[in-house]
Amino acid sequence: MDAEINNKTSRTFCIIGDPIEHSLSPLMHNAAFKKLNLNYSYIAFRVPSTELSESVESLKRIQIAGFNVTIPHKVNILKFLDDLDNDAQLAGAVNTVKNENGSLIGYNTDIYGIINPLENKISDFNGLKILILGAGGSCRAAIIGLSRKKGIKKIAIFNRDKNRLNEAISLGNKVGIDCYPYDYSDSTKLYEVSKSSDMVLNTTSVGMKGELSPIEASYITANTIVFDIVYKPIHTGLLLSAKKANARLIYGYEMLLNQGYKAFEIWTGLEAPRDTMKKTLFGIFGEP
């Protein structure tokens, strides 16, 4: 991370997180750069929480052009940035950073990444009851996006960390949407809420390591929309349970692509080559 960038016509981008070896962002963005004949590159860095501050300083020293932020840094990254756009400030979470003449500006493209796939599945959000697993940065993005849809009845949020949970609930209250806190370890309540929900959204990393579904198929109703932001493996435990229950599935790669389109456009000022980015990922997965 300390190597100097000497070629002024080249630009380097990256993603930071922990874990990071699963990330497909380098594949997606490098394909987009190649398609548009840009002399840009994109790499991944594993950054443990204890090294976030010094890692951001290293990125500034090498004049990184921009970077993505993933679990677990989407909230803590804010203290190391120079400014935020309106959505990032409102959400209190950042997943995209642009270096503007030495100033690091934070954006939240997760909002679009979550809402656009939902809009493709839902024509009317009125009266929806929603269950969200997790209360981190992606949950915050979901709350902001969903608050812009009229008529959502309630959002139940399950999380282990009570501070994070309370912060997410407060955000919901701030943007005018009724959110209710629950302890993630209370499986009885989780199953009860799941059975009465029209949509289930997993914003945690559960499923990334092949874990079993946090909600069994018998507690997911048919036609419920189940959206898992984990994109590798493509068929997470939760989505397999949802499929067994005849629910409507939204895969994690859909969020990955949509937030990536917006990040690309913020960094380059160019329209993202969406077909190229999508086909690059489907080359790995095979379209489900």
CA distance 52 to 132: 27
Q: Which candidate in 74, 98, 262, 278 is catalytic?
A: 74
Pairing assessment for the beta strands 66-69 and 96-100 based on DSSP bridges: antiparallel
> Can you give 72-101 as a three-state secondary structure string?
CCCCHHHHHCCEECHHHHHHCCCCEEEEEC
Torsion angle of the four alpha carbons 155, 158, 164, 170, in this order, in degrees rounded to the nearest 10 = 20
Answer yes or no: are the C-beta atoms of 11 and 256 closer than 8 Å: no
φ, ψ at 97 (rounded to 5°): -130, 135
Task: Kindly list the distances between the CA atom of residue 21 and the CA atoms of 28, 40, 147, 209, 266, in Å, as whole numbers in the listed order.
Answer: 14, 21, 33, 12, 24
Active site residue 74: yes
Catalytic residue positions? 74
